[in-house]
A and B are shown apart, each in its own frame.
Chain A
Amino acid sequence: MPEPILSLRKLEARYGDFQALYGVEMALNEGEVLAIIGANGAGKTTLLRSVSGLMSNAAAQVVYHGQPIGALRADEVAALGIALVPEGRQLFPSLSVEENLLIGGRLNRKGPWSLDAVFELFPVLKERRAFASTALSGGQQQRVAIGRALMSNPDLILFDEISLGLAPVIIKSIYEALPGIVGDGMSAIIVEQDVSKALSVSDRVYCLMEGRVSLEGRSRDISREAISRAYFGVE
């Protein structure tokens, strides 16, 4: 069994007095796509924030390539090759589409992704490269957010609810692009409320409930009943 690229070891996270994650254990193997599902407030975003360094944790609770990174700052984590596509897209409003992508690539990590490669994946962004990022539709903004994360050529990419607030046809086209993105040995964690979407693109799935892992399994084996039990805690 090869060493996982990322392991969470008894990950705890809190906002002041409120504890959002309780002893979360998780492992992600190289090249694997993991889905995290769970109800609103289950702690999915908190988990991604902990991995990406936006929340600081005890160092040993997040281990990446065998190295404890839980206490690193977000910019240090980014330099190690972890990129986050944040919930709600969060583009830089003062930057044009092209500048949003370029700033994603400022770490200059080696890999297949470049401005041209992102434009090839999402041609609409090339047409609108000079637009203010605020002038795009939600779906286009989401593509910029994904492109911005890819520009750093990450080894591990984290997606937080990329379908949130988008029309079904747009969600479909973004999900169709995913295999081409995570195909080249990149590992990924996809947080998604749409369970069937999550299962269709992932190798394994974890369900969170109130800050704890309530279910873990291979996406193709897992039963609907098990998921709804893990999701809502109904027996």
Chain B
Amino acid sequence: MDWVNAVVQGTLLGGLYALFAAGLSLIFGVMRLVNIAHGDLIVLGAYLGLTVVMATGLHPLLALVFVVPTMAAIGYVLQRGILNKTLGDDILPPLLVTFGLSVILQNLFLEGYTADPQKMNAGALETASVSVGGLSLGVLPLLTFGIAIFVIASLQFIFYRTPLGRSFRAVSDNQEIAQLMGLNKRHIFGLAMALALAVTAIAGILLGIRTSFDPTAGGARLIYGFEAVIIGGLGNLWGTLVGGVILGVAQTVGAKIDPGWQLLAGHIAFLVVLAIRPNGLFPRVSG
């Protein structure tokens, strides 16, 4: 039963990792931008949530009402103001600039919030649990997993069923020809980053409720996000959820064998998938 429990807890943890990964995947899919600052942007979402909670006394989940649009706006401005200028045939400038952005964000967090770990208090939600078939499942992890499914289903809907998603796919396919359709790729990229950071805001707040975070917490989240994206196969959103789950399960099962193995087991699972299926489990078939 302990093992079943580890697998179930890992699966639910995978929902959070999928949320870390979804924004990364979306940005890479639309504009081939590898965003090194993604983890720090998740932490930015957590700090913004903390700020709203402290200023208003709202429940952290309600803080989403402010943090999601704020992060989306930051995403649009960041993309149009800086990141668009780095995109071109050379893949190095976006890497360097988002790396620099990561350093800047971490320093801003340190200035604004000190190096002390912070956490958002979600009250009874944090300890509430339901018992299912002899397993005790936390309400918060269940809720996180449910939100992850909802977010991925929504992104999937936007991508494949709306004019905006059609524009995302067209620009991703062929930027030049997409411009001929009257699409301003700079604007489309801005919208994609806004959407990605809206998802990142959700990930950040759920992170900040689940665990404590500090200015350097982004690095690990970036790696989990990357690993989930790559396990699932680049550009496949449901694959990203599966990738998150595999990573989560590997970590909880690893921790079950030996508490020190938690992170290592996740990385090993990632490397094993990469060795067997270099394109991930469900790569997008490209035309």
Contacts and interface: CB of A to CB of B under 8 A. Distances in A.
Size category of the A interface is 20 to 34
Interface string A22-62: 00000000000000000000000000000011100000000
A53 B166 CA distance: 22
Contacts of B174: 90, 92
B180 A99 contact: no
A90 B177 contact: yes
Contacts of B170: 92, 94-95, 103
A134 interface: yes
Nearest to A54: B176
A102 interface: yes
Interface string B160-202: 0001001101101110111111111100000000000000000
Interface residues of B, number: 20
A171 interface: no
Nearest to B235: A94
B158 to A, nearest CB: 14
Nearest to A89: B177
Nearest to B173: A92
A86 B174 CA distance: 12
A83 interface: yes
Given A75-B183, A152-B182, A95 B166 contact: yes
B260 interface: no
A92 B177 contact: yes
User: Interface residues of B: mostly helix, strand, loop or mixed?
Assistant: helix
Looking at chain A's contact residues, is the secondary structure mostly helix, strand, loop, or mixed? mixed
A110 interface: no
A84 B176 CA distance: 12
B127 interface: no
Contacts of B180: 52, 54, 74-75, 78, 83-84, 86
Contacts, number: 71
Interface of A: 52-54, 73-75, 78-79, 83-84, 86, 90, 92-95, 99, 102-104, 106-107, 132-134, 148, 152
Contact of A103 (B172, B181, B184, B185): B181
A133 B177 CA distance: 15
B181 A104 contact: yes
B169 A78 contact: no
Given A54-B180, A93-B287, 14 more contacts: A54-B176, A73-B179, A75-B181, A75-B182, A83-B180, A84-B180, A92-B174, A92-B178, A95-B169, A103-B163, A103-B170, A104-B181, A132-B287, A134-B287
A94 B173 contact: yes
Interface string B76-114: 000000000000000000000000000000000000000
B131 interface: no
A94 B172 CA distance: 9
B286 interface: yes
25 contacts: A54-B176, A74-B176, A74-B180, A75-B183, A75-B185, A83-B180, A84-B180, A90-B174, A90-B177, A92-B170, A92-B173, A93-B287, A94-B172, A95-B166, A99-B166, A102-B163, A103-B163, A103-B181, A106-B167, A106-B181, A106-B183, A107-B181, A132-B287, A133-B287, A148-B181
A229 to B, nearest CB: 35
Contacts of A54: 176, 179-180
Contacts of A78: 179-182
A172 to B, nearest CB: 27
A94 B169 contact: yes
Contacts of B184: 73, 75
B176 A95 contact: no
